[in-house]
Amino acid sequence: MKISVERGTLLKAVSQAQSVVERRNTIPILANVLIEAEGDTVQFRATDLDIEVVDKAPAQVERAGATTVSANTLHEIVRKLPDGALVTLTDDGTSGRLTVEAGRSNFSLATLPKEDFPVMASSEYACNFSANAAQLRRLFDKSKFAISTEETRYYLNGVYMHVSDADGGKVLRCVATDGHRLARIDSDLPDGAADMPGVIVPRKTVGELRKLLDDDEMDIAVSVSETKVRFATPDITLTSKVIDGTFPDYTRVIPAGNTRRLEVDASDFAQAVDRVATVSSERSRAVKLALDEDRLILSVNAPDSGAAEEELAVAYGDERLEIGFNAKYLLEIASQVDRENAVFMFNSAGDPTLMREGNDTTAVYVVMPMRV
C-alpha cells in the first residue's frame, strides 16, 4: 500500500476515527485504526466493539492495500506535522511497519494484520430517513446534559430517540433523564421516519455524533434497527449498538397541573444562581428560591462556609413560594434557553418543576426540588 494525502484532510479523517478508540485496551487491535486504500479514496475505520466510525478521504493511491496502525500515534504524528504538508503512507506488507513521510520527517510505525481487525456486522435497518444536521444537533444538544452516569441504571445512560404524538401530530422526540432532571425535545418528523423503532442512543455515541453535525446545510442519513443505529454523511459513517433496555415511561413525571408561573431572563437567572452558589457546600449545592410578587430572592446558607443572597426582578403573580434546587441542575437547564425568557411552572415545594422557553412546548425540562 502506498498513498499520499494532504495533511489537513488526513488529520480530519484520523481524528474522527481515533476519538472512538478507548485509551485503555486489553485487546491490542482495538487501539488501531484500519487503513484501506482503493481507487482514489482512503478510508479509516476504528471501533470499540460498540461504536464503529468509517471516515473516507480523497487520496492519491499509488498502490491499493490495507493495514492497521495505532490510532493515537498516527493522530499525534499528523497533528504535529506542518500545515499543508503532503503525507505519504507506505506499507510493503512484509516488514510489519507503516512508513509515514512528510517533508523531512520520517516515521516507522508498528502494524498489526488487517485480518484481525473486527468489522461490525452489517445489519438490516428497519427504518431509513434523512434529517437535517441542525435539527439533529438541537435534539441531542439540548437533551444530553440529563443523561445519567449511573452504571446500575444502564437504560438511562443514553438519549431515547423515538416517534411520539404531540399537539400537532407525530414528532421525532429525544428524551434523557437521570431521575433528578429530565429533558424532552421535539422536532418535525422527517419523511420516512414514522415507523422508526424507539432506541436508546448511548452517551458516547451522542458525543461522537455531535462531530458530524457542525454543518447546518448537511443532511444526515439515519438508519435505525432494534439493535443498531447509523448516522452517515457523504464522508463519515457512524454505526453504534443501542442500549438494550426499556426506557421508563417519562410522561408520568412531566407535570401537567403546575399553575404558578415565573418568567425570568435566562442568562440573568443563570448568572445569579452561579454567583450565590459560590458559597454553597460542594456536596449539596442547594439554592433556595423565594418567590413573591414580581420578585425572586435566591439564597444559599452554608453553615461551614457562609451565606449569599441575590434579588432578581421577575414576572410572578401567584402566592408566595419557597423551593430549593441543586444549583448545577438549575444552571444546566437555564443554559439550554437561547432565544426567549425562561418560564418556570411550579406547583409546591415538594413537586417537580417544569421549565420551557417562552411558550415553546417543543423543548420541556423537568427538575426535582431539594429540601433546603
Is the model's pLDDT at 27 over the cut of 80? yes
Is the model's pLDDT at 25 over the cut of 90? no
Percent of the chain with pLDDT over 90: 85
Class of domain 256-367: alpha beta
- The strand pairing partners of 36, in sequence order, are 43, 66
pLDDT in tens, 265-279: 999 999 999 999 998
The superfamily CATH assigns to domain 127-252 is: DNA Polymerase III, subunit A, domain 2 (3.10.150.10)
What mean pLDDT is reported for the chain? 93
Same fold, 2-116 and 127-252: yes
pLDDT value of residue 284 = 67
Q: Report, as an integer, the average pLDDT of 96-109.
A: 95
pLDDT in tens, 330-372: 999 999 998 779 999 999 999 999 999 988 889 999 999 998 7
Residue 17 contacts by C-beta under 8 Å, 6 or more apart in sequence? 33, 44, 45, 46, 53, 54, 55, 71
Percent of the chain with pLDDT over 70: 99
Of the candidates 174, 108, 176, the residue with the CA atom closest to the CA atom of residue 332: 176
Q: Please provide the CATH number assigned to the domain covering 2-116.
A: 3.10.150.10
The SS3 call for residue 368 is coil
pLDDT value of residue 283 = 66
pLDDT value of residue 71 = 96
> What's the distance, Cα to Cα, between the start and end of the chain in Å?
66
Please state the pTM of the whole predicted model.
0.92
The SS3 call for residue 7 is helix
Domain ranges of the chain: 2-116, 127-252, 256-367
Cα distances (Å, whole numbers) of residue 238 to 119, 135, 195, 285: 13, 17, 21, 38
Of the candidates 144, 154, 199, 147, the residue with the CA atom closest to the CA atom of residue 172: 199
pLDDT value of residue 94 = 85
